[in-house]
Chain A
Amino acid sequence: MATNVSSVYIHVVDDVISKVRDEFINYGAGESVLNELQALWEMKMMQCGAISGNIERPPLQKNGVPTPVHDLNVPYEGPAEEYETPTAEMLFPPTPLQTPIQTPLPGTADTGMYNIPTGPSDYAPSPISELRNSIDLKSGRPSPYMQPPSPWMNQRPLGVDVNVAYVEGREEADRGSSHQPLTQDFFVNPSGKRKRDDYASQLNSGGYIPQQDGSGDMTIEFSLPQNVVGQDQKSPQGSGSSKFPLNKEAKQHPVLPQYDGVHDEYDDVFNKLFMNSKLNLPIFLFLSHSRHYFFLKIFQFQGGVTNEDYNTPGDHVELRAATPSVGTPKPGKNEVAEDDEPPLNEDDDDDEDLDDLDQGEDEPNTQHLVLALFDKVTRTKSRWKCTLKDGIMHLNNRDILFNKATGEFEF
């Protein structure tokens, strides 16, 4: 069947070329241009896989790939032989990766590398080959296999004793030494305070903190020497080792002055919702959020007049820790959904749009496409029927031609 498709294509190519030859000659372009056109066209078709030459080859290659995998697993002796003979080589390996004794490499991986092959097939070959294969595949990360080979090592007197003792000692030494730098590394990083001091000393004495005034203007470590001194006392509370709280505070700064404008809108809405209804609500909870966290605001109605208490930091400190579930979240959520959060319905459209866009970009190759002529298209309720003819189908990276097609679709 594939040959039929490609034969049809080749027939089309020949037909086209033969029929435009006269045009080319009359136009003065010449045979060479025509031949070049044909050659290029056929080459592209072979690259696309439209012509039979390439259509059959890729599956053969795919079949060929797994076979070497099986070959590696089945014959132990093949790789075993390779490891048997170079035991001496492994003891005196030419490659640097396999010379842990001579060179003080971080030996856990390297010692494992040649410890296993030093125990050749005399012992149970299967686990060794498995380990070898795993090591071959991992190439330098037999750390999980380090422990199992150790008994092998002890049981191998083939010049391994010296290596074993050396390796063991080195292993311990390496382990001991390996832990220290790791721990040291871990200890260094989280010490934010130390870093702050360092940075402070490096910069302008305590420039790490400020943020309420200068945060909105500057990006973190840069300091405002004037404000820093006064705010150093406040700093240790909110300032953490990471930059994130700084950003929060930084964002507090632009948000704070905006409360006036922000709350005016909400006040208007709330006035419409509550004031007009003449509800005397002693406490009114209001939800607003900056980018990263939510504020709870308490408004106290007195005689229908809202007193905005957000100026008092104490209340805000208490409210910040509260969850949005406190109080009456309904109006807040509505406004939050309308003003800040996009409606959830957009997700469906986004998915469709992305699919269309993606397939539009990949249309010539990966999008499944049917090009045909229709004789009849009918519909009964949600059941569609159509008759097509003379079509080219590109499905699953494959071309299929048809003379007639019947379609039944359910809408």
Chain B
Amino acid sequence: MATFELYRRSSIGMCLTETLDEMVSNGTLSPDLAYQVLVQFDKSMTEALETQVKSKVSIKGHLHTYRFCDNVWTFILQDAVFKSDECQEQVKKVKIVACDSKLLSQ
């Protein structure tokens, strides 16, 4: 089953990647096993986001760059405002990477 490796770029994903890299470098962990861990992380993260998160966010901003390649949208926004129920964030520049949700169901 294919997984979205998208979430490996998040904070939690980067921490896991770094940890696995260190352990593989040390020889504590085999590369195959590390890969298995990453794949499982992809699944678990996707499932957690589907089931455990219920918040809704609105995004507004100036679209500086858009790109659609390999079924992946990449947007670069400037002066973006992110509003949610709890908080509001403003950033001068943000990159949005979005994979096609329909690929999962396939």
Q: Do A and B come from one complex?
A: yes
Give the B-binding residues of A (Cβ under 8 A). Answer: 1, 8-9, 11-13, 15-16, 19-20, 23-24, 27, 29, 33, 36-37, 40-41, 44-45, 48-50, 355, 359, 363-364, 367-375, 377, 384, 386, 388-396, 398-411
Report if A400-B57 is in contact (Cβ < 8 Å); known contacts: A12-B41, A359-B93: yes
Find chain A residues with CB under 8 A from B63 CB: 384, 409-411
Q: Which of A24, A396, A407 contacts B96 (CB 8 A)?
A: A407
List the 8 closest A-B pairs by CB distance, nearest first: A409-B63, A374-B98, A373-B101, A44-B15, A368-B94, A390-B49, A407-B59, A411-B63
- Interface 1/0s, chain B 38-75, versus A by CB < 8 A? 00110111111110111111111111001010000101
* Chain A residues with CB below 8 A from B87, complex form: 1, 400
CB under 8 Å from chain A, chain B span 3-56: 4, 6-7, 9-12, 14-16, 18-20, 22-23, 28-30, 32-33, 36-37, 40-41, 43-50, 52-56
Q: Which residues of A contact B66 (CB under 8 A)?
A: 384, 411
Q: How far is the CA of A398 from the CA of B90 in the complex (A)?
A: 12
Q: Which residues of B are found within 8 Å of A404, using beta-carbon distances?
A: 56-57
Find chain A residues with CB under 8 A from B97 CB.
369-372
Contact of A409 among B41, B52, B61 (CB under 8 A): B61
Please report B residues at the A interface, Cβ cutoff 8 Å: 4, 6-7, 9-12, 14-16, 18-20, 22-23, 28-30, 32-33, 36-37, 40-41, 43-50, 52-63, 66, 68, 73, 75, 77, 80, 82, 84, 86-87, 89, 91, 93-101, 104
Q: Please, how many angstroms separate the alpha-carbon atoms of A151 and B31 in the complex?
A: 78
Chain A residues in 8 Å Cβ range of B41: 12, 16
Residue numbers in A under 8 Å from B82 (CB-CB): 393, 395, 400
- Cβ–Cβ contact B94 & A11, under 8 A: no
| Supplied contacts A20-B33, A29-B30, A373-B6, 13 more A-B pairs, CB within 8 Å | A8-B52, A355-B93, A364-B11, A368-B91, A368-B95, A369-B97, A390-B101, A399-B11, A400-B84, A403-B53, A404-B56, A408-B58, A409-B59
Partner of A402, one of B45, B55, B104: B55
Nearest-Cβ distance from residue A407 to partner chain B, whole angstroms: 4
Contact of B10 among A29, A36, A367, A394 (CB under 8 A): A394
Of all chain A residues, which has the CB nearest B15? A44
Contacts of B16 in A (CB 8 A): 16, 41
Which chain A residues lie closer than 8 Å to B80 at the CB level? 368
- B11's contact among A45, A368, A403, by CB below 8 Å, is which? A45
Tell which of B15, B16, B52 has the most Cβ of chain A within 10 Å: B15
B47 to chain A, nearest CB (A): 8
Indicate if the CB atoms of A8 and B23 lie closer than 8 Å: no
